[in-house]
Amino acid sequence: MFDFIVDHYNYWTYIGLMIIGFYAMMTKRNLIKKIIGMNIFQSAIIFFFISSSVKKGVTVPILEHAHGHAAHGLEHVTHAVDAMQYANPLPHVLMLTAIVVMVATLGVALAVAIMIYRKYHTLEEDEIIMAIKRD
Amino acid sequence: MIEQIPILIVVIPLLSSFLCPLIGLWRKEGCYFWAVFSLSLHCLASVNTLVTVIESGTINYYVGNWSPPWGIEVVVDHLSAYTVVIVSFMSLFAAIYAKRTVEQELPGKIVHFYTVFLLLVTGLSGIVVTGDVFNLYVFLEISALACYALIAVGEDRAPVASFRYVVMGTIGACFYLLGVGYLYIVTGSLNMGDLSTLLPELYANRVVQTAFVFMLIGSGIKIALFPLHTWQPDAYTYAPSAVSVIISTAMAKTSIYALIRIIFSVFTLDFIIGFAPIFDIICWISAIAMIFGSIYAITQSNLKRMLAYSSIANVGYIMLGVGLSTSTTLGLTPVLMHILNHAVMKGCMFMVACAFIYKAGLRDIKDFVGLGRKMPYASFAFILAALAMIGMPPSVGFITKWYLILAALDAGKYIFVGVIFFSTLLMIVYFWRVIEIMYIRVEEGEGSEIRVDEMPMSMLTPALILAVLCFVIGIVWLSGAPSPILDAVNSGFGLGVLP
Amino acid sequence: MKTLSIIIQVLLGAALIYGTLDMPKWGDPHSPAASHVSPYYLQHSIEHTATPNVVTSVLADYRGYDTLGETTVIFTAGMACILLLKRRDKSQGKRHV
């Protein structure tokens, strides 16, 4: 039981972050705080993916002793690549895309918040609802 | 060139959206014609794909010539081809319709409106043709970002409605991405075909079960299934006119397509039957959606808001079809029918409702007095679509309700037959109210002559075409011509035989 | 609203912890994620793409379609921000809401 908790501690980290972010998105009344909560929530998912690419004691997924072979146009490398020595590259790739998507969503959400501010001159949700009801 | 058509479905709107700002620099009004031109090419490509798929079966296109699971694959089977035809034709009609309304509602933003509109069509097409779960997330986000922006430039409280949609849509997409991550961590693959072969031995794995629940909730937020629907009424009501048309038809149907693809292609039928009574829960939730959607629609006085709540009820119909699909020999037939039927009916009604706003500035139903004579063709189109929704034979609405009742009887769940009848009754109440005010009531002190002030041709033509299609497509369904598509989809998913 | 949100957080936490029970150990080199598709990229990256940086070769070559989608996302966000934030020209008169 204790081993289980210690072996999986990366998962508890991301679960905690996700719940913090989701709570902020649902409960906070200020629009900017909701956007920050959204950012925390998405970052937690990115942590989860990245943590799945780790292997104990390996190096980054950049192949060593590889420069120069390709320049000579050799079809096959003289020494085989041991996949166990390198970290898993695929989650890094997926998360590069996901980070870009996260930033783009953040940008559009902030642009919508600017539009709301120009119209109602406040960023608190209760005041916006009252302003809508008055119209 | 012909064998590249599956990827051209995504590339044509993408390239056109890149060129749209350049055309806007040259001449602002040219953007409309450019958008219509590129969407017509898109329709041609999608019809070609549908014909190819019917003749020779599923198309597997490897992007960059890397075979899956190491590369990304574009898979077009019967369901994808059918959905992409619906998406492309609905976006073409919405683009044709958009000319006058965009000029009136968004005068300084025409160029960027059409650019983001074409990007929305790119995202929707990318969702429908892809065969990779992470790629589906990327295109889901493209279409979602375009949609947030297009809704937020509407009228009145559109930015607030769009902000709510931003928050809820991001939660949905993130839950979907979490599901993808869970599937990846126990299988190591992202390709849909590969996952469907790797998952069967992992059905008891708790990670797979949690992944299924998360993906279901994520997709449920995007399709606005009952408890998660709160963003939809405001978003549909305050969006600009052309945007209301396209999101109520193309975007909603694409999200349903994604849900069906995840449930039936990635997690195949055996998982669902063995896991939990998920489909029973879906049936009950959709029954509640059908009734509450219609009850809320009756209480609305704004026409667009009423149509938005009616959309929630119709999503209930589609999900009831999904829930019943494993217990009946009809399989997914009612679902596929209602995807097309609802797109045609709701598209026509939103076009007419927005035309009332464009021409006369009337939003409330009680102000529609005498509109039947003032805008005869528009009201005629609305009446045809309303009769189709209610279910008068041989319209498309009647076909859907008929097949849903057959499916419920076949599955032995008679209570859902009662629910379908009850919600039809409620639909008759709220549509009859509109028709009565438009045609039958007469204004006080009105003379015998009424000036006919019809809506412009560019807006009227798509609305009339859709209204007539409501009945023509009904006859096509009755004649049984599309049954190769329906049979291929049902047999591809292993449905249509009782367990 | 607060009680509803607390209930949803608890349910979410429970679902997430339930999902963690069967996950592979952190850093396990024999986990399915590390042994199904990824070794192919590491072994064939030089031969297919002449790039020692495997992340680059996967991003730009094997899964280049995702990168196309990603650049489209940036373009969409840029166009969306212009569409949202562009102010009306004074010469076009007052906007009627």
pLDDT tens per residue, range B453-481: 777 888 888 888 988 888 888 888 888 88
Domain extent for B407: 297-499
DSSP assignments along A24-76, one per residue: HHHH--BHHHHHHHHHHHHHHHHHHHHHTT--TT-B-SB-TT-TTTGGGT-SS
Q: Which of residues 86-125 of B touch A (CB under 8 A)?
A: none
- Name the minimum distance, in Å, from the CA of A49 to any CA of chain B: 6
- In 3D, which of B140, B150, B141, B499 has the Cα closest to residue B327? B499
> Which of B64, B119, B123 is nearest residue C61 as measured by Cβ atoms?
B64
Contact criterion met (CB < 8 Å) for B138 and A101: yes
Domain boundary assignment for chain C: 38-86
Residue B435 lies in a domain: yes
- Contact assessment for residue B324 and residue B417, using Cβ atoms and an 8 Å cutoff: no
pLDDT tens, residue by residue, C2-59: 888 899 999 999 999 998 888 888 878 888 888 888 888 888 888 888 888 999 999 9
Residue B365 lies in a domain: yes
Contacts of residue A55 in chain C, CB cutoff 8 Å?
Answer: 27-29, 34
Average pLDDT over residues B234-254: 92
> Which of C1, C20, C46 is nearest residue A70 as measured by Cβ atoms?
C46
Residue B389 lies in a domain: yes
Domain boundary assignment for chain A: 2-55+86-134
Contacts of residue A53 in chain C, CB cutoff 8 Å?
Answer: 33-34
Q: What is the pLDDT of residue B451?
A: 64
Contact criterion met (CB < 8 Å) for A132 and B157: yes
Could you tell me if B275 lies within 8 Å of chain A, comparing CB atoms?
Answer: no
Q: Rounded to two decimals, what is the model's pTM?
A: 0.93
Q: Which fold has domain A2-55+86-134?
A: Helix Hairpins (1.10.287)
Q: Indicate the length of chain A as a whole number.
A: 135
> Which of C23, C34, C37 is nearest residue B207 as measured by Cβ atoms?
C23
- In 3D, which of B139, B94, B90, B97 has the Cα closest to residue B119? B139
Evaluate if residue C96 carries a pLDDT over 80: no
Neighbors of chain C by Cβ distance (3+ pairs < 8 Å):
A, B
Contacts of residue B185 in chain A, CB cutoff 8 Å?
Answer: 52
Average pLDDT over residues A41-50: 92
Mean pLDDT of chain B: 88
Residue B211 lies in a domain: no
Q: Which residue has the tokens 């204004």?
A: B443
> Which of B119, B185, B210 is nearest residue C18 as measured by Cβ atoms?
B210
Could you tell me if C19 lies within 8 Å of chain B, comparing CB atoms?
Answer: yes
Q: Work out how many domains chain B is built from and give that number.
A: 1
- Name the minimum distance, in Å, from the CA of B489 to any CA of chain C: 27
Other C-beta atoms lying within 10 Å of the C-beta of residue B414: 11
User: What is the distance between the alpha carbons of residues B397 and B385, in angstroms, rounded to a whole number?
Assistant: 9
ipTM greater than 0.85:
yes
Q: Which of residues 41-70 of C touch A (CB under 8 A)?
A: 41-43, 45-47, 50-55, 58-59, 63, 66-67, 69-70
User: What is the distance between the alpha carbons of residues B431 and B314, in angstroms, rounded to a whole number?
Assistant: 14
Show Cβ contacts of residue B440 under 8 Å, excluding neighbours closer than 6 positions. Answer: none
Q: What is the pLDDT of residue A134?
A: 84
> Which of B70, B142, B145 is nearest residue C37 as measured by Cβ atoms?
B70
Evaluate if residue B204 carries a pLDDT over 50: yes
Show Cβ contacts of residue B117 under 8 Å, excluding neighbours closer than 6 positions. Answer: B35, B91, B95, B98, B146, B150, B242, B243, B246
Q: What is the pLDDT of residue C93?
A: 47
Neighbors of chain B by Cβ distance (3+ pairs < 8 Å):
A, C
